[in-house]
Amino acid sequence: MPATERLYYNDSHLIEFEAQVTDKTDRVSGWTAVTLDRTAFYPTGGGQPSDTGILGGVRVLECIDSEENGVLHVIQGRAPEVGATVKGRIDWPRRLDHIQQHTGQHILSQAFVTLFNAPTRGFRVLDDSCEIDVELTNPANELVERAVELANNVIWEDRGITIKSVTSEEAARLPLRKDPSRDGEVRVIEIEGFDLTPCGGTHAYRTGEVGLIAVRSWQRAKGLTRIEFLAGGRALVDYRRANQTASAVAGLFSAARDDATKLAARMLEENKELHRRVRALEEVSANAEAAELLAQTSPNPEGTRVIATIFDHRDAESLKRLALALIVHPHTIALLGSRENEAARLVFARSTDATGDMNALMSEACVALDGRGGGKTDLAQGGGKNVEKLGEAINQAAKTLSPE
Ligand SMILES: [Zn+2]
């Protein structure tokens, strides 16, 4: 079967075409793959996703490059008959997006070569951005931005982009940015006075069509520098989103957009300072609360004050802080509980001169609460979901400590 004539090779901006159906086969997916004598549909390859569109009135979901059968058009719907003449139309916004990303990649990759002698080893068009893996050994924002600057200058100079076919011998004599991946006829893409690369993809007529290149981020990856960039319409979409985010953050501070970072940094600093002050005040308040609780509690016959109290909605840290403030005082045991909607928590603690195994008491209490907990003989923490048993569990622990 003759190979499909690839119309996109000669004209990347051809949207509509007519062709004859040469074959059709059923796919495991349930769809049908149609081959044509000629096509403007670009199949997935070279880091560029395939075109979509309409063929013979039905939807083309994907195009696949099959070495022996040419371009397979995977269609959703009734397949045309072999031999029929059909009209095809590619989705232009998607093709233009791919042209911008792909041509943008040629330009950005050459910029890294021109400035830092750093070739590109990989390229991917992702859902909303693109990636290149560059042999840039010491990446830094400043270096990446210099390449972005050069790439955009080449775009704004609106240089011509031409395609020529050369033999592999001729190709070997050309200063190509990368080696051709196939033997025989080589398709070379030339960006006037800037870049010469063998490639089978779809490109802009002139660099101006790419519009803009912006780098969103970069990172070291497998010995290379992975650069996430966006070209053309994608750069505009990303700018809008970044602007909305920055403006929304600034709005929280009632500030101008570009002042937000400074204000957010200041707020975080103030927040840290407030946390320090709150911790100090909590310390003071726990001491005062402990003194008050001790004053209200009479010692048992052994001379020990057992403070058994239940609070509502008191977090574990606050409960423990109060227990520690209590057991600073001699002959003191704290049996503290806190009641939440769905859970109860406990802290049992004793001063060094008091007697009693807090760990053993806690284990017993946690059985009643249907939970878990533990610790040492002088301090133990725990909790459980049986909230209504909290009072009972604490009374039981108090009773164990002071049997009548
Ligand atoms: Zn290309």
User: What tens digit of pLDDT does each residue of 223-246 get?
Assistant: 999 999 999 999 999 999 999 999
Instruction: Render pLDDT for 59-69 as a digit per residue (tens, 0 to 9).
Output: 999 999 987 88
**278 residue type, one letter:** V
CA 395 to ligand 1 center in whole angstroms: 79
CA 138 to ligand 1 center in whole angstroms: 27
CA 202 to ligand 1 center in whole angstroms: 6
Instruction: Render pLDDT for 343-385 as a digit per residue (tens, 0 to 9).
Output: 999 999 999 999 999 999 999 999 999 999 999 999 999 999 9
Question: Residue 182: what pLDDT?
Answer: 74
Question: Residue 48: what pLDDT?
Answer: 86
CA 279 to ligand 1 center in whole angstroms: 61
Question: Residue 290: what pLDDT?
Answer: 96
CA 103 to ligand 1 center in whole angstroms: 6
CA 131 to ligand 1 center in whole angstroms: 14
Number of H helices, E strands in the chain: 9, 20
The DSSP line for 239-289 is HHHHHHHHHHHHHHTT--GGGHHHHHHHHHHHHHHHHHHHHHHHHHHHHHH
CB-CB contact of 332 with 294 (8 Å)? yes
C-alpha distances out from residue 190 to 165, 166, 193, 200, 215, Å: 11, 12, 8, 12, 24
CA 9 to ligand 1 center in whole angstroms: 11
**Along the 404 residues of the chain, how does pLDDT read in single tens digits?**
568 999 999 999 999 999 999 999 988 888 999 999 999 999 998 788 999 999 999 999 999 998 788 899 999 989 999 999 999 999 999 999 999 999 999 999 999 999 999 999 999 999 889 999 999 999 999 999 999 999 999 999 999 999 999 988 888 888 898 888 777 889 999 999 999 999 989 999 999 999 999 999 999 988 999 999 999 999 999 999 999 999 999 999 999 999 999 999 999 999 999 999 999 999 999 999 999 999 999 998 889 999 999 999 999 999 999 999 999 999 999 999 999 888 999 999 999 999 999 999 999 999 999 999 999 999 999 999 999 999 999 999 999 987 76
CA 225 to ligand 1 center in whole angstroms: 21
Question: Residue 401: what pLDDT?
Answer: 87
Adjacent-strand bridge partners of 226: 133, 219
Question: Residue 341: what pLDDT?
Answer: 83
Question: Residue 235: what pLDDT?
Answer: 97
CA 115 to ligand 1 center in whole angstroms: 20
CA 178 to ligand 1 center in whole angstroms: 11
CA 105 to ligand 1 center in whole angstroms: 8
CA 207 to ligand 1 center in whole angstroms: 13
d(C-alpha 303, C-alpha 351), whole Å: 13
Question: Comparing C-alpha atoms, which of 134, 133, 132 is closest to residue 116?
Answer: 134
CA 96 to ligand 1 center in whole angstroms: 13
CA 143 to ligand 1 center in whole angstroms: 24
CA 189 to ligand 1 center in whole angstroms: 7
Q: What percent of the chain has pLDDT over 70?
A: 99
Which residues, 6+ apart, have CB-to-CB distance to 363 below 8 Å? 373, 374, 382
The DSSP line for 280-316 is HHHHHHHHHHHHHHHHH----TTS-EEEEEEEES--H
- Name all contacts of 164-170 with Cβ < 8 Å and 24+ positions apart: 164/188, 164/190
Neighbours of ion ligand 1 (CB under 5 A): 199, 201
Q: How many CB atoms lie within 10 A of CB 232?
A: 22
d(C-alpha 53, C-alpha 34), whole Å: 13
CA 19 to ligand 1 center in whole angstroms: 25
Question: Residue 404: what pLDDT?
Answer: 62
CA 119 to ligand 1 center in whole angstroms: 15
CA 179 to ligand 1 center in whole angstroms: 13
CA 66 to ligand 1 center in whole angstroms: 19
CB-CB contact of 372 with 362 (8 Å)? no
CA 98 to ligand 1 center in whole angstroms: 10
Q: Which residues of 377-389 are buried (b: 16+ CB within 10 A; e: fewer)?
A: ebbbbbbbebbeb
Question: Residue 1: what pLDDT?
Answer: 53
CA 281 to ligand 1 center in whole angstroms: 65
Question: Residue 178: what pLDDT?
Answer: 87
CA 139 to ligand 1 center in whole angstroms: 25
Residue 4: both structure tokens together: 């499909």
CA 221 to ligand 1 center in whole angstroms: 23
Instruction: Render pLDDT for 282-321 as a digit per residue (tens, 0 to 9).
Output: 999 999 999 999 999 999 888 999 999 999 999 999 999 9
CA 47 to ligand 1 center in whole angstroms: 9
